[in-house]
Structure formats: C-alpha cells, structure tokens
Chain A
Amino acid sequence: MKLYGGSYIIAGLVVFLGIATFPIWYGAIGQNKPAFQSPPNPAGEQCIEPREYMRDRHMQLLTQWRDEAVRGGDWFYTATSGRKWTKSLTLTCMECHGKADAQGRSLTAATYCGECHDYVGVSLYCWDCHVDPAAPSAAGSAGRKVALAAHSNARRPGRHD
C-alpha cells in the first residue's frame, strides 16, 4: 500500500509543525531578551516556605489562602516550619517584600512582583484592590513607611490608578 501524495502531506506537516512550535524555537534561538535578573530580596529572613517552593508555587499558595480565608473564614496558615502566619497579601507578604532591599531601594509591589511578572508577561491585577503598603498613595495617606517611600523617589514605577 502507498500513502498517496505522501511527499506533499509530509512536507505540509513539517511546515505546520514549524509554525505551531514557533514560540518555542523562536524563544530558544532568538537571544532578543536579556537573562532575567531576580528581583531584589528583602535582606535577612527566609520566606514562609523554602525559596524554591515560593518561586514555583506562590500563585497556588495565594489562591489557596484566598479561598480558605474568604470563603472558609480560616485566616491562619501554618508553615512547614510550624510557624503561623495570617493569610494576607498586604499584611504578611508585603511586610517583608514591601520593605527596602539591601541597597535601600523601596520594594513596592511594582518592583518586587512586577519585575518578574513583566518579564514573563503575566499581568497582575492584585494591586487594583489590595493595598501595596510601600506604594506612594498608601504610604502617604496612611502614614506607614512614609520615610521609606520618601527616599526612593528615584525609582517609582507608575501604577495604573
């Protein structure tokens, strides 16, 4: 038996696969983006779970926190280290990640979260509602971290509100 018009079919498939996998091979050969620089970490303490876990799974953890706290009324998370944390983006995460880094640069959500999210093209809308305590508007009006915000005027990414 014979695959009629086999050469056309195979050639067509090769072209199709080439186009379908375009993002993969273009990304691999096209060195059009500089390697990603990790966002600056707050000096000192470790995050609530190990660094690798947080890097890979922070989005699942935040979604789980959201469901448990908002829909279940369960506001406390026990980390694998046994330490308890309030399930809160602003009050727990930004307590460290909203501080200044080793260079004294104020870490707003736009710098800490935004640098990586901009790089991978995943847009964040958390900060449309949740308050970034290090952001100028919150700091100025609430009187918290005003000093931090004041000496970081040099680098203050725009927020969309």
Chain B
Amino acid sequence: MIDRRTFLKISTLVTLGAAGGRELAAGLEAIDPAALPAAGAAGAAKRWALVIDVAKCLETPDCDRCIAACNRGHNVPRIDDDRHEVKWIWKEPFEQAFPDQENPWLDDKLKSAPVLTLCNHCDNPPCVRVCPTKATFRRPDGIVDMDLHRCIGCRYCMVACPYGSRSFNWMNPRPHIPRIDPEYPTRTKGVVEKCTFCVERLDKGQAPLCAAACPAGALVFGDLSDDTSEVRKRLKSRFALQRKAALGTKPMVFYLI
C-alpha cells in the first residue's frame, strides 16, 4: 500500500497536469486578434464626414425622406412614448441643436427651425472612451460603430454623449417596427443603438441611406482626407457650424449655414 505522502504527491501532479493541459488547449483555440483583416478593407478610407446644407434643407421643412429611409433601412422602431423612443436621425429646433449659439437676437424663425441631428462620429468620441466592453469602437475610417453582440446595456455611452445621439431599447423593439427589413438585423431589449453612417453600405461602396434619399442634395457625404472631395469643396465654399465644438469631441457632421 502507498503512503499518504506519495498518494498526495501523485494526486496533486495529476490535477495540475490535467488543469495545465486544458489551459494549453484553450490557448491554442483562441482567435488571434492580429489575424483579423484591417478595418475598412472594402472601402479603403479615409475620414468619412457628413455635410448638411441647413439652408437648402430648410427650403422644404416638412420633408423627412432621409429620416424615413434610415428608419426603414435599419429597422428603427417607432415608439411614441418619448421616454422609450429610439432615434438614429431626427430633427431638433436650431436653438436646441446649437445651444452654444447664444445670440439672443437671432431670427425667431431660425431659432425654431428644424435641424437634422444624428451621431456626429466624433474624432474624439466620449462614448468610446467610457464603454466598458469596447462594444462601441472607432474604426480607422473615423466611423464610431457598435458591436451590439458585446453591448451589456450599461448606458454609460448615453451619459457620455453630449448630443443625445444614443437610444436605449427599454423593450423588445420588434412589435414597434412598422415593416421589418430582413436584410438588416433588429435590436433586442437591453442594448443601446445609434446611427452607424451605414457602415454596411459604405463597405460595399454605397452612400449612406440618408444622403442617398435626399432629393435636394442637402446631405453630402464624403471623405475629408481627400482634398478634392465634394465635402471638402462644400466646407471651403460656406461657413459651417459643428454641434458643441467647444467640448473638444471633434464632431464630423458639419452644418452649412
């Protein structure tokens, strides 16, 4: 019969061996993040930005084709209760979109004019900095995208975003989607969502839905790093505002006044 010492020694070695072997096997199985392809492989960009010609947009203040195209294409639910509503692109009165424009003598018509607002895809995005799971991340082409598989619904990003561009799904959104487009996923209860600049379209060489839907050409989408692009031309030709630029978030949605 073996003694207690030998028995303990052998059993300890067997346990350690089994645990170590499993660790090693798990390590070999793990996906190497460096093996993933470079981001934006298909689009090969750059620095995406959106220029909104506010003057042109306000010529038809009732038009909401960009909003409708976005909501339809991304299965954005329509929830009337504004505590639960989900927004990707929407309209905000000028003085609320630009609270730092403190000129009290601004024309009343402009003060209440409906201005398009959406995620600004900041160069210095506070939502990305606070996200504890890296569900929100900034792609090399400047788009602030979300990996909803990783979102735990903590809503830190909603607190961090100074533009209110993020919405939380307080309930299952599916019953509130007028027409589900099977080409795009819906979201589920408990995740945050926002505008993605239509990454899935950009990566296939198509313009974002809102810019493509605008009949007046008031929404111009393009590459800021390209000196000859349409967005750069527009920004040279007119004076443009950025929302709450003083906060240092470096928003990449520009408003031509």
Whether the pair B37, A68 counts as a contact (CB closer than 8 A) is: yes
Residues of chain A in range 116-149 having any CB-CB distance to chain B below 8 Å: 125, 128-131, 133, 137-138, 141-142, 144
Whether the pair B36, A141 counts as a contact (CB closer than 8 A) is: no
Nearest 8 A/B pairs, CB to CB = A1-B3, A128-B188, A74-B37, A131-B182, A133-B182, A129-B185, A73-B40, A74-B41
Whether the pair B4, A3 counts as a contact (CB closer than 8 A) is: yes
Whether the pair A137, B180 counts as a contact (CB closer than 8 A) is: yes
Residue on A with the closest CB to B75?
A131
* Complex alpha-carbon distance, A3 and B18, angstroms: 24
Whether the pair A137, B1 counts as a contact (CB closer than 8 A) is: no
Q: Select which of B7, B172, B174, B180 is within 8 A of A142 by beta carbon.
A: B180
Whether the pair B182, A129 counts as a contact (CB closer than 8 A) is: no
Residues of chain A in range 65-82 having any CB-CB distance to chain B below 8 Å: 66-68, 70-76
Kindly state whether residue B203 has any CB partner on chain A within 8 Å.
yes
Kindly state whether residue A64 has any CB partner on chain B within 8 Å.
yes
Given contacts A64-B31, A129-B185, contact A141 B179 (CB under 8 A): yes
- Contacts of B203 on A, CB cut-off 8 Å? 73, 75
Q: Mark B114-126, 1 if CB is under 8 A from A, else 0.
A: 0000000000000
Q: Select which of B3, B39, B147, B180 is within 8 A of A3 by beta carbon.
A: B3
Whether the pair B41, A73 counts as a contact (CB closer than 8 A) is: yes
**Most B CB atoms within 10 A — which of A4, A66, A131?**
A131
The total of chain B residues at the interface (CB under 8 A) is 41
Interface residues of A (CB under 8 A from B): 1-4, 6, 63-64, 66-68, 70-76, 90-91, 125, 128-131, 133, 137-138, 141-142, 144, 161
Whether the pair A142, B182 counts as a contact (CB closer than 8 A) is: yes
- Contacts of A67 on B, CB cut-off 8 Å? 31, 36
Whether the pair A70, B180 counts as a contact (CB closer than 8 A) is: no
- Contacts of A73 on B, CB cut-off 8 Å? 37, 39-43, 139, 141, 199, 203
- Contacts of A161 on B, CB cut-off 8 Å? 172, 174-175
Whether the pair A74, B42 counts as a contact (CB closer than 8 A) is: yes
Q: Select which of A2, A76, A91, A141 is within 8 A of B1 by beta carbon.
A: A2
Kindly state whether residue B22 has any CB partner on chain A within 8 Å.
no
Whether the pair A71, B36 counts as a contact (CB closer than 8 A) is: yes
Whether the pair A3, B174 counts as a contact (CB closer than 8 A) is: no
Residue on B with the closest CB to A76?
B42
Residues of chain B in range 168-218 having any CB-CB distance to chain A below 8 Å: 172, 174-175, 177, 179-188, 199-200, 203-204
Kindly state whether residue B156 has any CB partner on chain A within 8 Å.
no
Query: How many Å from the CB of A13 to the closest CB on chain B?
Result: 9
- Contacts of B180 on A, CB cut-off 8 Å? 131, 137-138, 141-142
Whether the pair B181, A129 counts as a contact (CB closer than 8 A) is: no
Whether the pair A129, B187 counts as a contact (CB closer than 8 A) is: yes
Whether the pair A68, B36 counts as a contact (CB closer than 8 A) is: yes
* Complex alpha-carbon distance, A161 and B175, angstroms: 8
* Complex alpha-carbon distance, A68 and B42, angstroms: 12
Residue on B with the closest CB to A66?
B149
- Contacts of B43 on A, CB cut-off 8 Å? 73
Residue on B with the closest CB to A63?
B31
* Complex alpha-carbon distance, A144 and B182, angstroms: 9
- Contacts of A90 on B, CB cut-off 8 Å? 182-183, 185
Whether the pair B188, A129 counts as a contact (CB closer than 8 A) is: yes
Query: How many Å from the CB of A157 to the closest CB on chain B?
Result: 17
* Complex alpha-carbon distance, A103 and B172, angstroms: 34
11 A-B Cβ contacts within 8 A? Answer: A1-B4, A1-B5, A2-B3, A6-B1, A66-B149, A73-B42, A73-B43, A73-B199, A91-B183, A133-B182, A137-B180
Residue on B with the closest CB to A142?
B182
Kindly state whether residue B137 has any CB partner on chain A within 8 Å.
yes
Residue on B with the closest CB to A75?
B203
Kindly state whether residue B13 has any CB partner on chain A within 8 Å.
no
- Contacts of A137 on B, CB cut-off 8 Å? 174, 180
